[in-house]
Amino acid sequence: MSRIDYSVWDHIEVSDDEDDTHPNIDTPSLFRWRHQARVERMEEFQKKGTELNKGLSDCRRKLADVQKKLQELKVSGSGDSNPELSKVQSEEKKLKKEERDWEKKVDEYNREEKKMPWNVDTLSKDGFSKSIVNVKPDPSEETEEQKEQKHKTFVEKYEKEIKHFGMLRRWDDSQKYLSDNPHLVCEETANYLVIMCIDLEVEEKHALMEQVAHQTIVMQFILELAKSLKVDPRGCFRQFFAKIKTADQQYQDAFNDELESFKERVRGRAKIRIEKAMKEYEEEERQKRMGPGGLDPVEVYESLPLEMQKCFDDKDIQMLQDVISKMDPTEAKTHMKRCIDSGLWVPNSKTDDGEEKDEEATYEEVKPEQEETKKE
């Protein structure tokens, strides 16, 4: 029986993404944007090759026309002294130089193309055509609601198995576990592992995050391979393990580079999540401490003159009365109103007769000396 040739796997690029469109999943496909970027680079490179070949073809066509014209002049018996003949010979010499320059550029392009790493878009699509479960065509695109429900149902059913796979370390163990649980080879598992990595990083379980990240990249390699071959992922995961277990240093480096890149993105996402949670917590605390007038006591306190801040620090009403007596009445009244609205100052809300005081009466509570000064 012939042995499958895995040489095209010697260096593979795998894409990843950070798309926030899915409501429950931090990223339904963490790998899409890098795949798109790689496709764009490939298209740009191919465009360059097309332009180079076109330039070479145009140059050769012009050279052929000039050489034909030169032959006609020679056949007509024109001497070397003929000005037109000299002009055509000079043009031929110039075009031959241009042809060599174009050929050199095309050769450099071809050498560069050979050095480019293989990726899932350039892998052979015939190598695994046997013993593969064919993908059933999807009659319609899933809506976001359907994707969300599908993910939720899958996780509810297989969460324990997914977590177990995420904790595995050895290639053989991973392959055997997927052989026993082929239903786990799917996008839903990859998505859950991504979320699991971010959760672990937020919880500062860094070593565990790195382990699950490794299994996430394993799953993504399999999914990317299946996508390129247009087959069910369950039909090609064994080929992945067969290659990775016997990979040369170059292939291992490619896998490790993708893994390190993914871990950095997980750390970045975890940092954003922590910062967002802190902002939400701070806003909740701010709402809790809002005064009766809807002002934040912390913000109001920081806006007060230093002399008034010291009064509140020392909880000294007499000091507060002294400070207010020296201030402009309008400014003092504004500060006191803000203190009341924020809850920094809680006036006696009722008189001896049980009737509510108005705001002006409240202001009077803290400025008797000021009023006495005015009378004098």
All structural domains of the chain with their residue ranges: 24-115, 144-285, 297-342
DSSP β-ladder status, 118-119 and 12-13: parallel
- Is residue 30 pLDDT above 80, yes or no? no
Mean pLDDT value of segment 95-124: 74
Q: Tokens for 185?
A: 């080879």
- Is residue 331 pLDDT above 60, yes or no? yes
**135: pLDDT confidence band, cut at 50, 70 and 90?**
very low
Mean pLDDT value of segment 9-30: 43
Q: Give the separation between CA 63 and CA 57, rounded to whole angstroms.
A: 10
DSSP SS3 for 134: strand
- Do 123 and 112 contact (CB within 8 A), yes or no? no
Q: Give the separation between CA 16 and CA 10, rounded to whole angstroms.
A: 20
Q: Give the separation between CA 107 and CA 116, rounded to whole angstroms.
A: 14
Q: Label residue 219 exposed, middle or buried (CB < 10 Å: 0-12, 13-18, 19+).
A: buried
Q: What pLDDT is stored for residue 80 in this prediction?
A: 57
**192: pLDDT confidence band, cut at 50, 70 and 90?**
very high
Of the candidates 74, 58, 152, 70, the residue with the CA atom closest to the CA atom of residue 106: 58
**38: pLDDT confidence band, cut at 50, 70 and 90?**
low
Mean pLDDT value of segment 79-86: 70
- Is residue 251 pLDDT above 50, yes or no? yes
- Do 22 and 149 contact (CB within 8 A), yes or no? no
Residues in the chain, how many? 376
Q: Give the separation between CA 118 and CA 114, rounded to whole angstroms.
A: 10
Range among 71-80, 159-168, 335-344 rated most confident: 159-168
Fold of the CATH domain 144-285: Methane Monooxygenase Hydroxylase; Chain G, domain 1 (1.20.58)
For tokens 């050095």, name the residue: 115
- Quickly list DSSP for 179-221: HH-GGGSSHHHHHHHHHHHHHHHHTT-HHHHHHHHHHHHHHHH
Q: What angle do CA 77, 81, 84 make, to 5 degrees?
A: 75
Q: What is the DSSP letter of 13?
A: E
Round the average pLDDT of the chain to a whole number and report it.
Answer: 75
Q: Tokens for 69?
A: 């014209």
DSSP H or E stretch at residue 76: none
Higher-confidence residue: 79 or 173? 173
Q: What pLDDT is stored for residue 22 in this prediction?
A: 44
**Is this model's pTM higher than 0.85 or not?**
no
- Is residue 262 pLDDT above 70, yes or no? yes
Q: What pLDDT is stored for residue 167 in this prediction?
A: 93
pLDDT, tens digit (0-9, with 9 covering 90-100), for 51-80: 888 888 889 888 888 888 878 777 766 555
pLDDT, tens digit (0-9, with 9 covering 90-100), for 193-219: 999 999 999 999 999 999 999 999 999
pLDDT, tens digit (0-9, with 9 covering 90-100), for 271-293: 888 888 888 877 777 777 777 77
Phi, psi of 12 (to 5 degrees): -120, 135
